Every structure is written in C-alpha cells, then in structure tokens.
C-alpha cells in the first residue's frame, strides 16, 4: 500500500510531496512520482504529525450509551488524532490489568486511532488504596499514565506513594487538581458572577493548592507529575515556579478553557457545566500565553460525553463535562494560531510531540520525515464551518461549540499509512 501526497505544506511551510509506504514515511521532496501509488491532492492543506490526546473519556466499559471505544475513536480520527489516552473513570474502573487490556484491545479492533488506556491510581478511584500500577504497566496495554481523573488524589501520603511507584515504572501521575473540601456544592467558578447567579462557587484556590502541594511532592520524590486541565492564571504561576526549580511537572489545557469563560453560564445551559469550571477572561488569556510559552505543555481535550438526560436538566443536577475531540484543532487554530500566539510547528509540538513524550508513546509525535511512522493529519486552515452537534461522530451531543463558526477542517488522517479519515469522512 503506497500513498503519494502531492503538495502538502508540512508544518505550514512550502508545499512538498510525501510518500507513505508500509506504514512509514519513505520520502519527502519536490516532484515525486510513484506510478502505482494512490494520489492525494493536498493543494492548500497543512500537514502535521497525527495529534495525540492525553485526556479522553470513552465511557466503555459501562456507559456505552454515551460513547464506546469505537465511536470515540471515530470522533478522534475526525479531529485529526492518531492516539488518545482513555481515562480510567469507567464502570468497572480501569484499575486492573484485565480492564486496561480490554480497552486496549477494543481500540485495536476499532483500528481508527491507538487507544492508550490510563490506569487508575487508586482502587475504584476511591482514594484509599493504590491500584495494581505495576501489573497495568506490564500488561499488553503498557500503561504509563495513571490518573483518578474525575476525582483528585486528595490524600497527600497516598499521592506521595503513587509518585514513588510511577517513578519506578517510568510513568506519570496525571492529577485532577481539586481539593475536595473546597469544592463541596461547587457549580461554577467562584466570583461575583457565581454570587449573582446563585450557584455554588469553585474557587481557583481549590486547584492551585493541590498543584502547589503536588509539585512539592514530585520534587521531593523525583517523580513525574502531570496536571490535568489547568484552568487558572494562578496555576500557571505555580507551574512556572516549579519548573524553574527543576521539578518534573508537565501540564495540559483544554480547548474549552482556551476559548470559553464563565459568561457562558449566564443562560444556565448545563452544556457549559464542566470540571474545572469555565473561568474568567483573565484566566483564558493567561492560559493562552502559558501554552505559547510552553509552561503549559499540551492541549488535551477532556472529551467528556454525557447522556441527554444528564445534560438537559436543571444546572445543579447536570453532570460536568463537554465534548472536545472533533473541534479541538479548530479551537486551537482560533485561539492560538490566528492571533499569532503559536505557529504550525508550535501546534504540532503542543498537540502531538509533547503529549506523546509525556505518555511515552514511541510511535507518535514523531517528525514528518523519511523513516518515521506515517501518522499524520492534513487540514485545510482556510475552511470555516458552523458546529452542528447532530453531525458529530460522538455518540453524545454535549458540544459547547454548537452554532459557533470555527476555522480549520481536518481533511485526511493517516494511522501508520492507512487512511482513517478521507475528505473529512471516517473510512469506517
């Protein structure tokens, strides 16, 4: 199987031709011709390495009515991803080698992206006893990212033990930074607006206090820490400080925290309820600047599908979380590329290279050069379209971008040389 891509702008640079053969990029250059190859006209399209998501909720096993490994994989491929990390807060929880192997196998069977299971830190996400981290690392799923996401590993002694274990496994703890004692009854960002709307406040300090604690622990233990969905300007300051001290801490920001603010809550539409909550304009600008600077390493979607009945209800009853996979790249184009904060190499770095490095995925986040795995996305930066939730591949409909016009369209995605998306449509 050989593919000849004609005239793609690698990382946004001058057009070149690219040949993919047997899952590998075999040549990059001008006026290439391969008589037997399938030819893809990439005129005007930008090529980036296949995107890697560190934070996806696929809901299988347990809530297949809202997403499966297959439907989530399709959404991911359509978003330009070639690998996604599937969070552990499923039912049963992914806290054993058996469950992570099952998710890994379902991903291989779907064959649209590499689904990399995240292992739970504690048994049942209960925050009491460590899960079998070593067995999950040694399993066929080769788990390297461990997280109780959805919950915070709140006990500092347990967090310390988890860091010690993952250090020995070359793994990382991905922390959902939320001090639970400070978010009892929380519904939205704490501030003047929460007071006026009469909704319980989720203070920035609940996130920042855990990040401060955890960077100190990670530094003390000499282990890797990753901070999920950073949402406040204050968190960025703590991360910058920790980095300057040599702490091995990495961090991600979601597309929705780069674009939306708590002003969205004014209409009480639960599609905008998410954890951590949408923050202020000042936070959004600090997060964009931190991603540009590299203090925040990666964009991660926190794609969180929910059933209609869990979203079309009273605000306080609704579950937190929003879809992200299919619009992530478009939101990054709008919030980072168009304002000149990030160039295309920067997008590749924050959405592919660094997340692959954090997750220890050797076959992803590689340069677009000969000899490298043929994982890539071709996008049309000029295309603009209005988001229609009914048209999404996800099994759920809780997109916060419904009705918004966003730039950039994923046209083709390749996983090890095989097309998973062609002309904006999933191949299966």
Ligand X SMILES: NC(=O)N[C@@H](CC(=O)O)C(=O)O
As annotated, the binding site includes: 55, 57-59, 89, 149, 176, 229, 275, 302, 306, 320-321
Binding mask 3-42 for ligand X (x = CB under 6 A): ----------------------------------------
Do the bridges between strand 249-253 and strand 225-227 make them parallel or antiparallel, or are there none, so unpaired? parallel
Does position 326 bind ligand X by CB under 6 A?
Answer: no
Does position 150 bind ligand X by CB under 6 A?
Answer: yes
d(C-alpha 210, C-alpha 205), whole Å: 8
Q: Where is 413: in which H helix or E strand?
A: strand 405-415
Ranges of beta strands (E only) in 42-135 are 46-49, 51-56, 81-86, 114-117
Per CB under 6 A, contacts with ligand X among 299-318 are: 302, 304
Which residue in the list 17, 53, 302, 310 is annotated as catalytic? 302
Within 111-266, where are the H helices? Answer: 133-138, 156-168, 192-197, 204-221, 233-244, 255-259
Cα–chain center distance at 125: 20
Minimum distance between the CB of residue 277 and ligand X, rounded to whole angstroms? 9
Contacts with Zn ion by CB under 5 A lie at 149, 176, 302
Per CB under 6 A, contacts with ligand X among 39-78 are: 57
Known binding-site residues for Zn(2+) equal 55, 57, 149, 176, 229, 302
Residue with smaller CB distance to ligand X, 277 or 381: 277
Does position 287 bind ligand X by CB under 6 A?
Answer: no
Tokens of 178: 């939320």
Torsion (CA) 334, 347, 415, 428 in degrees, nearest 10: -10
Residue with smaller CB distance to ligand X, 57 or 161: 57
Per CB under 6 A, contacts with ligand X among 170-189 are: 176
d(C-alpha 402, C-alpha 367), whole Å: 34
- Of Zn ion, ligand X, none, which one does residue 274 interact with (CB within 5 to 8 Å by kind)? ligand X
Does position 320 bind ligand X by CB under 6 A?
Answer: yes
d(C-alpha 418, C-alpha 23), whole Å: 7
Minimum distance between the CB of residue 304 and ligand X, rounded to whole angstroms? 4
Binding mask 82-111 for ligand X (x = CB under 6 A): -------x----------------------
Binding mask 250-279 for ligand X (x = CB under 6 A): ------------------------xx----
- Of ligand X, Zn ion, none, which one does residue 255 interact with (CB within 5 to 8 Å by kind)? none
Minimum distance between the CB of residue 88 and ligand X, rounded to whole angstroms? 10
Per-residue buried b or exposed e for 65-90, using 16+ beta carbons within 10 Å of the residue's own CB: ebbbbbbbbbbbbbbbbbbbbbbbbb
Is 17 in contact with 4 (CB distance < 8 Å)? yes
Minimum distance between the CB of residue 152 and ligand X, rounded to whole angstroms? 9
Query: Nearest to Zn ion by Cβ — which residue?
Result: 176
Cα–chain center distance at 275: 14
- Of ligand X, Zn ion, none, which one does residue 125 interact with (CB within 5 to 8 Å by kind)? none
Residue with smaller CB distance to Zn ion, 68 or 420: 68
Is 331 in contact with 255 (CB distance < 8 Å)? yes
- Of ligand X, Zn ion, none, which one does residue 166 interact with (CB within 5 to 8 Å by kind)? none
Within 49-132, where are the H helices? Answer: 69-78, 97-110
Torsion (CA) 293, 296, 300, 305 in degrees, nearest 10: -120
- Of Zn ion, ligand X, none, which one does residue 320 interact with (CB within 5 to 8 Å by kind)? ligand X
Is 403 in contact with 331 (CB distance < 8 Å)? no
Minimum distance between the CB of residue 57 and ligand X, rounded to whole angstroms? 5
397 phi/psi in degrees, rounded to 5? -125, 10
Torsion (CA) 189, 191, 195, 197 in degrees, nearest 10: -50
Known binding-site residues for substrate equal 57-59, 89, 275, 306, 320-321
Is 327 in contact with 399 (CB distance < 8 Å)? yes
302 given a catalytic annotation: yes
d(C-alpha 5, C-alpha 331), whole Å: 26
Minimum distance between the CB of residue 130 and ligand X, rounded to whole angstroms? 20
Residue with smaller CB distance to Zn ion, 228 or 337: 228
- Of Zn ion, ligand X, none, which one does residue 298 interact with (CB within 5 to 8 Å by kind)? none
d(C-alpha 417, C-alpha 363), whole Å: 12
Hey, which residues are catalytic here?
302
Binding interface with ligand X (CB under 6 A): 57, 89, 149-150, 176, 274-275, 302, 304, 320-321
């Amino acid at each position: 199987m050989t593919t000849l891509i004609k005239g793609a702008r690698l990382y946004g640079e001058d057009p070149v031709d690219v040949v993919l053969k047997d899952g590998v990029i075999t040549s990059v250059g001008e006026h290439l011709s391969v008589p037997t190859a399938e030819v893809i006209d990439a005129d005007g399209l930008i090529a980036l390495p296949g995107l890697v998501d560190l934070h996806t909720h696929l809901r299988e096993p347990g809530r297949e009515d809202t997403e499966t490994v297959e439907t989530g994989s399709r959404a991911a491929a359509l978003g330009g991803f070639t690998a996604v990390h599937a969070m552990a807060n499923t039912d049963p929880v992914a806290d054993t080698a058996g469950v992570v192997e099952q998710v890994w196998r379902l991903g291989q069977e779907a064959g649209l992206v590499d689904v990399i299971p995240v292992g739970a830190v504690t048994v049942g996400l209960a925050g009491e006893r460590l899960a079998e981290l070593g067995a999950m690392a040694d399993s066929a799923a080769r788990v390297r990212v461990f997280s109780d996401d959805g919950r915070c590993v709140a006990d500092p002694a347990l967090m310390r033990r988890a860091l010690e274990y993952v250090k020995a496994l070359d793994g990382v703890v991905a922390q959902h930074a939320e001090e639970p004692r400070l978010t009892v009854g929380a519904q939205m960002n704490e501030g003047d607006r929460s007071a006026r709307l009469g909704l319980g406040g989720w203070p920035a300090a609940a996130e920042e206090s855990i990040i401060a604690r955890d960077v100190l622990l990670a530094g003390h233990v000499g282990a890797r820490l990753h901070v999920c969905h950073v949402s406040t300007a204050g968190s960025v300051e703590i991360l910058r400080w920790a980095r300057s001290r040599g702490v091995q801490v990495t961090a991600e920001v979601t597309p929705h925290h780069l674009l939306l603010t708590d002003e969205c809550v004014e209409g009480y539409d639960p599609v905008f309820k998410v954890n951590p909550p949408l923050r202020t304009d000042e936070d959004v600008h600090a997060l964009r600047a931190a991603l540009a600077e590299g203090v925040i390493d990666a964009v991660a979607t926190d794609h969180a599908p929910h059933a209609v009945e869990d979203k079309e209800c009273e605000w306080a009853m609704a579950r937190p979380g929003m879809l992200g996979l299919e619009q992530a790249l478009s939101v990054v184009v709008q919030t980072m590329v168009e304002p000149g904060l990030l160039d295309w190499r920067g997008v590749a770095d924050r959405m592919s290279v660094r997340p692959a490095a954090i997750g220890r995925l050797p076959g992803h986040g590689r340069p677009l050069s000969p000899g490298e795995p043929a994982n890539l996305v071709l996008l049309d930066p000029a295309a603009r379209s209005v988001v229609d939730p009914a048209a999404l591949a996800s099994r759920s409909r809780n997109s916060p971008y419904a009705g918004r016009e966003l730039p950039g369209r994923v046209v083709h995605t390749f996983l090890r040389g095989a097309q998973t998306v062609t002309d904006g449509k999933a191949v299966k």
